[in-house]
Chain A
Amino acid sequence: MNIFIDNKSGEPIYSQICTQLKNQILSGALREDEALPSIRNLAKDLRISVITTKRAYEELEREGFLYTIPAKGSFVAPKNVELLREENLKKIEAHLGEVARLAAACGLDRAELIEMFETLTEESL
């Protein structure tokens, strides 16, 4: 399992961990019920604070990506179709927001934008 922390990016470290673990879970790199490293071991191996890894795991558990068994550790939650869709919808929204911003910056209006999208999706189908 690879996790890369960028101290200089400005993105909170716990958030970077969450994103990377989520991606690996969704892509299948981490399988269902696979054991995740303990909060403490993850922190020590990544050379970051234990408080941060704990926060990342808590968030992932809250969002349904992992589950914890007391005294045993944390494990990848079974893939939830809803969850997958939810994540992908979030990503699409984020990308669309970026598209809208860029379009505004170069003066592209909505009609032109939709035309562009239709051309693109026609090609890929």
Chain B
Amino acid sequence: MNALELNGLCKRWPGFSLEDVTLALPAGCILGLVGENGAGKTTTIKLILNMLRADGGSATVLGQDAAALDKNDVGVVLDEAGLPQGLNPGQIGRIMSGIFRNWDAACYARYLDRFELPHGKPYKAFSRGMKMKLAIAIALSHNARLLVLDEPTGGLDPVVRDEIVELFSEFTRDADRAVLISSHIVSDLEKLCDYIAFLHKGRLVLFEEKDALLERYGLLRCDASALDAIDPGAVVGRRDSAYGAEAIVRRGAAPAGLALSPVGLEELFIFMTKGAR
């Protein structure tokens, strides 16, 4: 069963439109949403959560239309977390227990301790990292089946990010659950995701299994003329300098003598974005 299915999803605003986004996230998997600022990641997430009305296409979440979705099953972290300023985590926990059907107060308390969030300190005194951690604690404490995360690791140092990414990975040890995560921090997504979707200016440029994607391409460093000789359809993007050229090329398209080094997700996207401009 698919945890999430988007079919031709569209949203139009003056000055920006999200067009024809189609993808599917099977249960038990993690989907990473990448794209530059303004590419449409937050719009896509809001359409999934029925916070915006689609202008076309459909979104099916946990088997139901997005408009009929029971949000008790969805754990959400939004960019700019959005909790009331003057309240402390203890109060927020009590509020959430009156909102979520399956709120687990013991689980929430454990996360607060694990993240070292003081129960009595008001939210407005929290650093950005602490605010994110609190939102994550809430999202993980009500037995959700799907996590929808919009930039959940912003403001966190690498050690904490690694820990949090590990938490999200553990979430899908259970094959019934799934995660959708949008992030700028591509290295987190590379560790975590099974699928990658790349949004650029409101269009879905790519939706693939992450490992297959990384296996398909390699980084080629050679002189510019050798690069010119390769079929342009196999070249994802190139960078020329005074000392030669480098490009991301589909394996198999490079001539036999030239070695391709493995390419990381971040490099792939930088080259793809620059190539698309």
Contacts and interface: CB of A to CB of B under 8 A. Distances in A.
Note whether A and B form a binding pair: yes
B173 A41 contact: yes
Given A12-B211, A49-B211, A40 B261 contact: no
A68 B51 CA distance: 44
B185 interface: no
B191 A50 contact: no
Interface in B1-54: 28-29
Contacts, number: 38
B151 interface: no
B262 A10 contact: yes
Interface in B218-277: 218, 260-262
B87 interface: no
A100 B71 CA distance: 64
B170 A44 contact: yes
A-side interface size class: 10 to 19
B218 A50 contact: no
B200 interface: no
Most chain B CB neighbours (cut-off 10 Å) among A8, A13, A41, A51:
A51
Interface in B131-184: 169-170, 172-173, 175
A14 B209 CA distance: 13
A12 to B, nearest CB: 5
B169 A47 contact: yes
B246 to A, nearest CB: 16
Interface of B: 28-29, 169-170, 172-173, 175, 191, 193-194, 209-212, 215, 218, 260-262
